[in-house]
Structure formats: structure tokens, C-alpha cells
Amino acid sequence: MTVTTTAATADRTTLLTSALMLAERGMHVFPLKPGTKVPALYGEWEQRATTDPTRIRRCWSGGPYNIGVACGPSGLLVVDCDTPKPETPPPSAPFNVPGVNEGADVLVMLAERYAAPFPWGDFHVVTGRGGMHLYFRQPDGPALRNTAGRLGWLIDTRGAGGYVVGPGSIVDGKPYRAFGEPYAEPLPGWLARLLTAPKQRPVAPTRPPNRPAGGPRQPGAYAAKVLREELATILAAKPGTRNDTLNKVAFNLGTHAARGTVPEDLARDTLDFAVGNLSGDVAKSEATARRSFEDGLQKGAAPR
């Protein structure tokens, strides 16, 4: 499922469709002022967030309101990986290393530290500024609340008492795009432990990136950046250019996999995910991706 918008301000039909889709999956929604992240309900947003389709239709028929998702009533914990603004201070230790340029890179480092895969989940939203909202169900026990920087540089979380901007919304002329099906899977245990344990200084990984002890290779910060950028390139391709774009991206990923800069299994998974989110002839896209990826593997393995 992909929600995209192209106008500077989303139209109310697009927003209504997205709000109803989220509500159908148990996510409580409420209106934000058009084109902003600001609640339109003046302090009552959490109490009035709803999954009632009648109320949602009545609200969004009144204007092109952006969508707020109330995390508490929805039982959600959303991991918010942001991108730096001009005034953002650089990361401090242990995240002040080459390849760490945004919150997602920090989350890669944390996943490596705990020998866990990157927590994509079943559903995530790419924000207007290029960050990511990773949607998860709250773990058992007292509901987790909001945090700011608890997990690391440019990573916040939104839980009880917090909200996120929903897909279909447009902020500063840039859309929030959803990927995957809007079913929030459980928060990974290692993240739950980090958010509930007494706060302590993060420990830098003690092994080389991409090679967690006793397990399969995981993406380092550079590999994760490559995967995100190549995925975004495919998904942003316009009709009429998608096959050529898929061909180039699959070849690039095959080359990276051959040279060991990106784990081959994750490169293939990224291509599968991209093809699954493209419209049109899926069989043709799968064949293009497979052929070009194999060509890239051969090219990357050739002597240089």
C-alpha cells in the first residue's frame, strides 16, 4: 500500500481515503490544520481522536485537513527517525562516526549492537523531510510514552500522550508517504528494553559493521543509506520511466552486493519490496529486477 500526493496541499478526497484506511486498521485519527502538523482541535485532539467512519467523513468533508494519528488510543509506539536541520548539532559519541548522517543511521548502529535486523516493521511512513516513522504495537505492561533522543541522536518515539502526522498529509508542500500494509507489528523486544531500562550512555558496537557475532550480516550505516536511497529512487520514478529506473537500481544493488558493501540478502529483499509496491506488470518488473541484479553481481565481481 502506497499513499502519495503531488499537489502542494492534499485534496480532501485523498486525505479522507487515507484517514478511513488508518481507522479501519484501528488507528485513531484527528484533524490537523491544513498543510501543518498542528492539531485543529485546540488541546482536545487525543480525547476526540476516533475510528468512527461517520465522524471521519463528517470532519474531512469540511476541508483538506492533514491527518493526526493519536498513538495512545491506537496502542501504538512510533519510532521517529529524523533528518538533521541546519541548526541541528552534530552527533556525539558513540554516533559521531563516518556514515551516520541521520536518525535512521543511528538506529542501524543500535540494531548492530543488539545483533538484530533493522526494525522496518510491516508499516512505515516516509516524512516530508525524508525521515521515517516506524509503526509498532505497544508492548505488554504500562504504555510507553514519548521520548526525545532516548534511543540516540535524531531518534524520538511517540506513544501514550503523543501523535504523528499520518500518510497522505502534506507539510511545507511535501507529502507523507506510506509503505507496507498498515498493520503495526509488536515492538521488537530489544527496543522495548532500551525504552524501559534506566537511561544510560549508549555503547558503541565492538565488532566491525555488517558482521554481527553468531548471526547473518546486518546493514551498516553506509549499506542502510544505499538501500534507502535506491528504494526511494524506484518508488519516486514517474510512469513511463519505472522499468528503466528499476533496471538501473537493480544493477547498482547487484554491484554493491558483489563488492560486499551491501548484504546480498537485504539487497534482494529491498528489490522485492520495491517491486511489490509498483503498479503495472509485476511479472515484468520482477524479471527486470532479477536480470539486472544478476548483471550487477557479475559486473561487481569482475576484476578491477
Q: Rounded to whole angstroms, how far apart are CA atoms 110 and 114?
A: 6
Which residues have a Cβ under 8 Å from the Cβ of 83 and sit 6 or more positions away? 102, 103, 129, 130, 131, 154
pLDDT digits 0-9 by tens, 151-183: 999 999 999 999 999 999 999 999 999 988 878
Mean pLDDT of 265-290: 77
Per-residue confidence (pLDDT) for residue 197, from 0 to 100: 74
Which grid cell is 123?
A: 508499516
Q: Cis ω on the peptide bond leading into residue 94 (within 30° of 0)?
A: yes
Q: Rounded to whole angstroms, how far apart are CA atoms 295 and 229?
A: 20
H or E, element range at 152: strand 147-152
Domain range list for the chain: 12-196, 221-301
Q: Rounded to whole angstroms, how far apart are CA atoms 77 and 147?
A: 10
43 pLDDT higher than 80: no
Contact 12, 35 (CB under 8 A): no
Question: In terms of DSSP H, where are the helices of 170-218?
Answer: 189-196
pLDDT digits 0-9 by tens, 58-84: 999 999 999 999 999 999 999 999 999
Per-residue confidence (pLDDT) for residue 4, from 0 to 100: 43
> Of 234 and 175, which is predicted with more confidence?
175
Q: Strand, helix or coil at 134? A: strand
Overall fold of domain 12-196: Prim-pol fold (3.30.2250)
